[in-house]
Structure 1
């Protein structure tokens, strides 16, 4: 292997769109279920991987798997397992989506306990594995606006150098982006930067509302913007960054293959795109695999992925000192 031209899969990586519970290795979830005597056999395939039929069923399996994560110690173990796998795939900086709904039910005091355990594992992983983690608090759209307010209050109470953003995941078919304006305003007033899922199963209008109504600077997925040329131009002009998860989109049936995915067309149109895994064990992917498949589909080389990582680092919600440290890792790794 040439040091001047390493395989793209070996390059250091920045990941911005990772659901914490959705990144749980199935083996860890099975182990926790065994320890707690919880029967989760219905959510696994015979080979031990997660089993789901479609997006709605995926959400059900996701929540069932998360049901064994019942306390701070479980989240400490989960965080270490996630970061160990991310580091193995060359990730040097990651932002993870953390939902207070799964970490104390939206109670601020309980959320602080969970967050302390998560941060403890993250600090250990940074010292031992060289990977930096930051948290983006997310509300869950299909849990409704009232529960989203509780998540936003948790975010606002713990905003700072580690909790750096606020966003929304969940089922795009429930309600409208604007129904959650209070929560996003609360987070913005606390100094948090904003992202939200849109343009995955929702069409271009969901992306437009995310930008114009919620005032986010990043969009989770956002790929269906490609269906509206005016919106593509608007995203490029505004400098909105898309947290694109190609492997997830292919597995969930948005596109039939990596080659059919619009990430390259969006990038060519001047939209800021980045690469992430979303819920990697659910979608049988890793950051290495995303790089390998994109290189194969579009002929992208090391310079392309360096540019994509630079875009991701510019869009990261971390402070400037952290950004500078990560930039050095990208240059020297």
Structure 2
């Protein structure tokens, strides 16, 4: 299963930064970030809120378009090593020029240049999902949505929301999602990770998304599970992340197999892989060991991911051909 072509739909570009990469930038800039690493050099945090703190601290040394270009290359190299042939990365203008449109264009150009180089050399494609940060508030989200709308096209293909689910409500961000939708962007939202089933329902009702980031706590509401299955809503499931952060105590307790058997379209991603000590190969290994998924299941998962990808039809057809769907 490890060598099967993989499609990843839920990856935070900054959150995928290898710790060594961030430490290297910190040394170059003379910044002391020792407090966010453990003795082994890994990211160190306690719980979800502290994870957000460490994440944002690591982002403080990602200061220039060149930094993001180097980051993109490093992340795509790791993904390609794990058999990923297409990835969709959440990128936030909050961390790329402070939501200034001119600065965002410069950061985006650097990311795209690195992505195109990686596609030529490594055979991995990248698309960007511009992401607003929930705990930064609705006003900041509107600025982020403007950055997304003004750069929408064949590379920036989606819009989403991440951050602390305990802050505000989904309805507060409806304006931003409406702007992104009008610009032709496809929509996803983090929900059903720390928020319960109601957070998933709110994302569907107020933001009108076609994919849900995580969404696993929908399992607590059978009627919602039925709705997801009937409406073909795709869940971007990150099992290793959910276990590492304590959403579920173990892989055996994770609901991905129950959701799949209920007819929900599930996919597999790593979220913020170095934070959770995972890779796409490790996710596949864990699912094979825990649920006895075979090659046929994993090919179905990859095909579901390709069909749900925020890309053009020609790219999708190429992905399905490479997957062998």
- Map Cα deviations across residues 10-34 of structure 1 (whole Å, 9 max, x no partner): 2110000000100000000000000
1:101 has 2:72 as partner? no
Deviation at 1:331, TM superposition (A): 2.4
Secondary structure at 2:253's aligned position in 1?
Answer: coil
Distance (Å, rounded) in 2 between the aligned partners of 1:77 and 1:93: 18
1:197 has 2:190 as partner? yes
Deviation at 1:136, TM superposition (A): 0.3
Correspondence list, 1:17-56, <5 A: 17-56=10-49
Q: Residue 155 of structure 1 corresponds to which residue in structure 2?
A: 148
Distance (Å, rounded) in 2 between the aligned partners of 1:260 and 1:121: 39
Correspondence list, 1:13-92, <5 A: 13-92=6-85
Corresponding residue to 1:319 among 312, 315, 320? 312
Distance (Å, rounded) in 2 between the aligned partners of 1:180 and 1:274: 25
Gaps of 5+ in 1: 1-7
Deviation at 1:40, TM superposition (A): 0.1
Q: Residue 166 of structure 2 corresponds to which residue in structure 1?
A: 173
Secondary structure at 2:160's aligned position in 1?
Answer: strand
Distance (Å, rounded) in 2 between the aligned partners of 1:226 and 1:328: 32
1:275 has 2:272 as partner? no
Deviation at 1:327, TM superposition (A): 1.8
Runs of 4+ in 1 over 6 A off after TM superposition: none
Q: Residue 146 of structure 1 corresponds to which residue in structure 2?
A: 139
Gaps of 5+ in 2: none
Q: Residue 212 of structure 1 corresponds to which residue in structure 2?
A: 205
Distance (Å, rounded) in 1 between the aligned partners of 2:33 and 2:16: 17
Secondary structure at 2:174's aligned position in 1?
Answer: helix
Q: Residue 289 of structure 1 corresponds to which residue in structure 2?
A: 282
1:117 has 2:92 as partner? no
Distance (Å, rounded) in 2 between the aligned partners of 1:327 and 1:287: 18
- Map Cα deviations across residues 285-310 of structure 1 (whole Å, 9 max, x no partner): 00000000000000001000000011
Corresponding residue to 1:127 among 120, 136, 139? 120
Contact 2:299 2:324 in 1 (8 A): no
Q: TM-score, normalised by structure 1?
A: 0.97
Q: TM-score, normalised by structure 2?
A: 0.99
Q: Residue 130 of structure 2 corresponds to which residue in structure 1?
A: 137
The alignment's C-alpha RMSD in Å is 0.7
Deviation at 1:213, TM superposition (A): 1.2
